[in-house]
Amino acid sequence: MISHNIGRITEKPLTSVIEDYLEAIFNLDQEKKVVRVKDIAKRMNVKMPTVSSMLKNLNSKGLVNYEKYEYVELTKDGADVGKKIRHKHKILLKFLTEILQIEFKVADEEACKMEHTLSSATLDSLIDFMEFIQTCPRTGESWLHYFEEYRRHGRRPEKCQARSKTFSCEFKSQVDSIENSSPPGVVE
Amino acid sequence: MISHNIGRITEKPLTSVIEDYLEAIFNLDQEKKVVRVKDIAKRMNVKMPTVSSMLKNLNSKGLVNYEKYEYVELTKDGADVGKKIRHKHKILLKFLTEILQIEFKVADEEACKMEHTLSSATLDSLIDFMEFIQTCPRTGESWLHYFEEYRRHGRRPEKCQARSKTFSCEFKSQVDSIENSSPPGVVE
DNA sequence: AACATATGTTTTAACTGTCTAACAATTAGG
DNA sequence: CCTAATTGTTAGACAGTTAAAACATATGTT
């Protein structure tokens, strides 16, 4: 059945592979003067013919402007997608490294996979959550530090409770300083 | 007789689709007396021929014992994978619903996608993190309750800070009850 | 300009996961 | 026990993503 409405209505969701390419191109675009097939292949761990055929695909979807042997340029649509995915990637990476305290390299790989499965609604929740941890006087930096200890010394909630006094002092001084103004940091 | 160990060395990572089938079969196995092609098709939102060919695939990988027209049974290996994925699913679901406070149905769908990209190491971190929130005297139930408010009233850290006094009170009483069972100490 | 090297494309083919259509086995009811 | 409905399989097709091999273009060097 051939549709007459070529625009919005026909719109199918992009595959995660396509999203990956757009993110890669978006990043390369900011790193280099021009983006070439070779660069994309390297970044995506893929051979050049694969990039060639993907660019044809992206062209047909109006996500890049690409002519044989020329440089690769994202369209507005393509750049929007690339930027959105990169944003998700960064938030996830931050959560994995700063909150869950996972080693950067592992976290980066994981974020790369999760960025496609994370809905925008969940992303918003996650951002709120991280902001809340940072800004809530009950948690913040030192709380995360204790989580780090908790992780290191392996699953011992008793130890955490034994430190209540320390929490108390730190907490009071934190509240004091907050009550004398100082706006919170915001994620991304 | 085909050896398990031949697989070990050649061992390629399973696709996420295969993981999904194993999880589905594992769950069905606990819900019903016997698992049939039709059940799997329904659970996976897929047609029966797709299940047939997948079962052939799973058979060849030693993940199910299946003979035409018979019931489907997981091997030890298959059940292990199914169980592992279901576990990841449950943890993620818990995180999404209880921590990020996402609506069940959405969270369940999201968990379904993320369960394949979550490494075991990250899963462990996530479990630790959730445990820490529950057991640390600084956070726990009430802290999550405040996060809920924070979310509801939309991105307003100022509001959170305005409640510092409340936190302080709650926190103190929590500390007091803990202090009554532990010797006093001096802290920096 | 002529050649060599780097870069890019086309063609062909593989693999995974899905479907529809047609056929086959199993089971349930009269 | 025979037929009808249900369940399952096979065959063939297709969309996506990838790569190897062969070919084409661009770039740089002498």
Q: Whole-number Å distance, CA B175 to C1' D24? A: 76
Q: What is the DSSP letter of B66?
A: -
Is 70 exceeded by the pLDDT of residue B158? no
Q: Which of A110, A136, A137 sits opposite B117 (nearest CB)?
A: A110
Residue listed under structure tokens 């500390």: B175
A97 versus B4: which is more confidently predicted? Answer: A97
SS (H, E, C) chain A: CCCCCCCHHHCCCCCHHHHHHHHHHHHHHHHCCCECHHHHHHHHCCCHHHHHHHHHHHHHCCCEECCCCCCEEECHHHHHHHHHHHHHHHHHHHHHHHHCCCCHHHHHHHHHHHCCCCCHHHHHHHHHHHHHHHHCCCCHHHHHHHHHHHHHCCCCHHHHHHCHHHHHHHHHHHHHHHHCCCCCCCCC
pLDDT tens for the 188 residues of chain A, in order: 333 343 444 577 899 999 999 999 999 999 999 999 999 999 999 999 999 999 999 999 999 999 999 999 999 999 999 999 999 999 999 999 988 889 998 899 899 999 998 888 899 888 888 877 777 666 766 666 776 777 776 654 444 444 444 443 333 333 333 333 333 333 33
Q: Average pLDDT over chain B, rounded to whole?
A: 78
- Model confidence pLDDT, tens digit, residues B43-96: 999 999 999 999 999 999 999 999 999 999 999 999 999 999 999 999 999 999
Average pLDDT over residues B125-139: 77
Cβ-based contacts (< 7 Å) between B 89-128 and strand C: none
pLDDT score of B10:
53
Interface of A with B in 116-135 (CB under 8 A): 117-119, 121-122, 125-126, 128-129, 131-132, 135
Q: Say whether pLDDT at B7 is over 60.
A: no
Note the CA–C1' distance, B112 to C18, in angstroms: 19
Taking residues B84-109, report their average pLDDT.
92
Report CA(A84)–C1'(D25) in Å, whole number: 35
Nearest to A121 among B99, B106, B139 (CB): B106
Who wins on pLDDT, B28 or A178?
Answer: B28
Model pLDDT, residue B132: 74
Taking the Cβ of residue A151 and every Cβ of chain B, the question of whether any pair is shorter than 8 Å is answered with yes
A126, A137, A165 member nearest B167 (Cβ): A137
- Categorize the per-residue pLDDT at B177 as very low, low, confident or very high, splitting at 50, 70 and 90: very low
Judging by DSSP bridges, how do beta strands A73-74 and B73-74 pair with one another? unpaired
B138: chain A residues, CB-CB within 8 Å:
138-139, 143, 146, 167, 171
Question: What is the reported pLDDT for B99?
Answer: 86
The reply to whether residue B117 touches residue A117, judged by beta carbons under 8 angstroms, is yes
- Which of A101-110, B33-42, B174-183 is predicted least confidently? B174-183
Q: Which residue has the higher pLDDT, A185 or B113?
A: B113
A168 at the B interface (CB within 8 A)? yes
Residue B60 Cβ < 7 Å to strand D: no
Its pTM surpasses 0.75: yes
Please tell me which residue, A92 or B130, carries the higher pLDDT value: A92
Instruction: Give me the pLDDT at residue B42, please.
Output: 97
**Inter-chain CB proximity A146 and B136 less than 8 Å:** yes
Residues of A in contact with B185 (CB under 8 A): 165
Higher pLDDT among residues A40 and B98, named by residue: A40
Tokens, residue B54: 């997948």
**Per the CB < 8 Å rule, is A184 touching B157?**
yes
Supply the pLDDT for residue A10. Answer: 54
